Amino acid sequence: MTGLFLVAEDVDGKIVGSVGLERFGRSALLRSLTTAGKARKEGFSTRLLTQAEVLARASDVSDLWLLTTTAAGFFRRAGYADAERGAASAEVQASTQFAELCPASAVCMTKRL
């Protein structure tokens, strides 16, 4: 696994959420967990996160990293801890997400699997 995206569908087959994993050795970057507004109270985000973690473990990933500007509380409830960006591996830090896309004000978080 170098990159993998999962989607969630509602009972009508409409896509209501997605999440991505980008692997860097034994670390992976959790990317773009998102859920459509109407589906946010239905647990799709939690299920997507759980499935991403299952896939990461099955692929021998030992730690997940993420950056968030809006969902730190959600990830803390899911067992993620705040971390310094500099604690991530050099490969994770060099990713486009870390180096370019997410602002310096984003909360960096990690979880050992």
- Please give the model's pTM, rounded to 2 decimal places: 0.91
pLDDT band at 2 (very low <50, low <70, confident <90, very high): low
Instruction: Check residue 44 and give its pLDDT.
Output: 87
Domain hosting 76: range is 3-112
Rounded Cα distance, 109 and 113, in Å: 13
34 has a pLDDT exceeding 50? yes
Q: Among 39-48, 49-58, 66-75, where is mean pLDDT lowest?
A: 39-48
Yes or no: say if 52 and 72 are a contact pair by the CB < 8 Å rule: no
Segment (H or E) for 113: none
Q: Closest Cα to residue 49, out of 109, 89, 103?
A: 109
